């Protein structure tokens, strides 16, 4: 009888964890290693939440992967009897004269059979009166997408992997000799060597350092700050019961995730700017926020999602300046923050994890 191939997967983030699980389910013997653990705070997958979407613009492979990943999230959530994908819907706001991203997405969403609606500005205003749609002409709404519990889902994948007989070890792979051909084992941080038949390196922003010749600057980690805001006590208009995830491409790409009403991650309401930040070392970089970015995000939040104090006020106009000052103070109540590193390479994102593992297998 042919023995099982032994595959070592290095990195237990969204991509490595799912790859290891799928390989195991396909009959391989799998050892999974991670320097700091699945969903650790240095990793790209280590945030509280991440957006799961199908809209990625024209001519890209991610929408098809998202369609497959949506099915896999459903399958594994049922199997594990746990929810990680919160299907709040994702709303893309398209400005009148700069909507190539959204226009291009319509075709790819249709081809991938991801459900979506095209909404006019009046339809959006009626449905989400807590959002100020100034400058927005139309939108795409993906009702079956939403946000993921990022860190928690990475940890659950590794729990499922070990429960199914996979071997997980918290060890760092050392860069020594990794680019030798053939690769005869890898050196790990406890001084031992690990030998396998095949190796999968899913080390996200660390890949360039581990493989300076093969990868090098193709992966350039940068720093981006993300912010969590508190809303007025008892006001759930900005919670995931009433607000979708949204993406806003006007000028720069900012996005938001509503606050969770249930579950572990009640961190408040998240807003982030997807613009690539300065170069960053994912191991030793200082994870302090940039005050400029905080100021910009507050201004953006105040204008796009004003916490209106007067329910009778027209939703089409901003509140008068004195009301606006009150709004500002409320936004300043409890900002929380996270800083993360991200590679310049666009990998499509964490939501594609289940489908990414599948791709890795078929490619191998």
Output 189 or 262, the one with its CB closest to ligand FAD. Answer: 189
Neighbours of 324 (CB within 10 A): 14
Q: How far is the CB of 55 from ligand FAD (least distance, A)?
A: 11
Q: Assign 3-class secondary structure to 238-307.
A: CECCCCCEEEECCCCCEEEECECCCCCCCCCEEEEECCCCCECCCCCCCCCCCHHHHHHHHHHHHHHCCC
Q: Is 43 in the site for ligand FAD (CB under 6 A)?
A: yes
Output 188 or 307, the one with its CB closest to ligand FAD. Answer: 188
CA-CA-CA-CA torsion sign (277, 280, 283, 284): negative
Q: Which of 45, 88, 108, 293 binds ligand FAD (CB under 6 A)?
A: 45
Q: Is 156 in the site for ligand FAD (CB under 6 A)?
A: no
Q: How far is the CB of 165 from ligand FAD (least distance, A)?
A: 21
Q: Which of 7, 14, 91, 194 binds ligand FAD (CB under 6 A)?
A: 14
Name residues contacting ligand FAD, limited to 165-204 (CB under 6 A). Answer: 172-173, 202-204
Nearest C-alpha neighbor of 6 from the set 187, 188, 200, 171: 200
Angle at 24 between CA 173 and CA 205, to 5 degrees: 35
How many residues of this chain interact with ligand FAD, rule: CB under 6 A?
34
Q: Is 22 in the site for ligand FAD (CB under 6 A)?
A: no
Q: Is 88 in the site for ligand FAD (CB under 6 A)?
A: no
Q: Is 351 in the site for ligand FAD (CB under 6 A)?
A: yes
Q: Which of 247, 349, 354, 357 binds ligand FAD (CB under 6 A)?
A: 349
Name residues contacting ligand FAD, limited to 321-340 (CB under 6 A). Answer: 340
Indicate the Cα dihedral angle 89, 303, 278, 95, nearest 10°.
Answer: 60
Start-to-end Cα distance in the chain: 22
Q: How far is the CB of 67 from ligand FAD (least distance, A)?
A: 14
Name residues contacting ligand FAD, limited to 23-42 (CB under 6 A). Answer: 33-36, 40
* Start-end of H helices in 194-239: 207-210
Q: How far is the CB of 355 from ligand FAD (least distance, A)?
A: 11
Q: Is 101 in the site for ligand FAD (CB under 6 A)?
A: no
Q: Is 60 in the site for ligand FAD (CB under 6 A)?
A: no
The rounded distance, in Å, linking the Cα atoms of 25 and 21 is: 6
The rounded distance, in Å, linking the Cα atoms of 347 and 211 is: 17
Specify the DSSP class assigned to residue 228: E
Q: Which stretch binds ligand FAD (CB under 6 A): 8-16, 99-107, 118-126, 259-267?
A: 8-16
Q: How far is the CB of 282 from ligand FAD (least distance, A)?
A: 7
Q: Is 10 in the site for ligand FAD (CB under 6 A)?
A: yes
* Start-end of H helices in 27-163: 62-80, 100-112, 121-127, 150-163
Chain positions contacting ligand FAD, by CB under 6 A? 10-16, 33-36, 40, 43-45, 50-51, 172-173, 202-206, 210, 224, 226, 340-342, 347, 349-351
């Amino acid at each position: 009888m042919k023995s099982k191939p032994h595959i070592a997967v290095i990195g237990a983030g969204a991509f490595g964890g799912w790859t290891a699980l799928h390989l195991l389910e396909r009959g391989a013997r799998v050892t999974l290693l991670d320097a700091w653990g699945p969903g650790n705070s240095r990793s790209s997958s280590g945030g509280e939440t991440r957006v799961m979407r199908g809209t990625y613009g024209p001519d890209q492979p991610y929408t098809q992967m998202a369609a497959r990943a949506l099915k896999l999230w459903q399958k594994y959530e049922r199997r594990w009897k746990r929810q990680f994908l919160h299907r709040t819907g994702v709303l893309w706001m398209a400005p009148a004269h700069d909507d190539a991203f959204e226009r291009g997405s319509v075709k790819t969403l249709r081809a991938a059979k991801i459900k979506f609606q095209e909404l006019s500005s009046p339809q959006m205003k009626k449905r989400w009166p807590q959002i100020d749609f100034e400058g927005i002409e139309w939108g795409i709404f993906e009702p079956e997408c939403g946000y993921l519990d990022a860190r928690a889902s990475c940890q659950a994948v590794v729990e499922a992997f070990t429960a199914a007989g996979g071997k997980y070890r918290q060890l760092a792979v050392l860069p020594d000799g990794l680019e030798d051909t053939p690769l005869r084992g890898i050196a790990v941080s406890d001084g031992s060597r690990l030998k396998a038949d095949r190796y999968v390196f899913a080390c996200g922003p660390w890949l360039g350092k581990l493989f300076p010749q093969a990868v090098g600057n193709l992966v350039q980690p940068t720093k981006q700050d993300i912010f969590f805001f508190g809303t007025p006590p008892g006001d759930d208009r900005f919670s995931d019961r009433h607000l979708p995830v949204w993406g806003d491409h006007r000028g720069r790409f900012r996005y938001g995730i509503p606050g969770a009403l249930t579950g572990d991650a009640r961190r408040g309401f998240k807003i982030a700017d997807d613009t690539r930040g300065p170069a960053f070392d994912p191991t030793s970089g200082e994870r302090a926020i940039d005050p400029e970015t905080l100021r910009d995000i507050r201004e953006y939040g105040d204008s796009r999602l004003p916490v209106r104090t007067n329910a009778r006020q027209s939703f089409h106009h901003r509140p008068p300046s004195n009301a606006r000052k009150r709004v500002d103070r409320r936004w300043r109540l409890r900002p929380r923050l996270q800083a993360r590193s991200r590679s310049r390479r666009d990998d499509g994102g964490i939501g594609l994890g289940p489908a990414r593992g599948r791709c890795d297998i078929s490619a191998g």
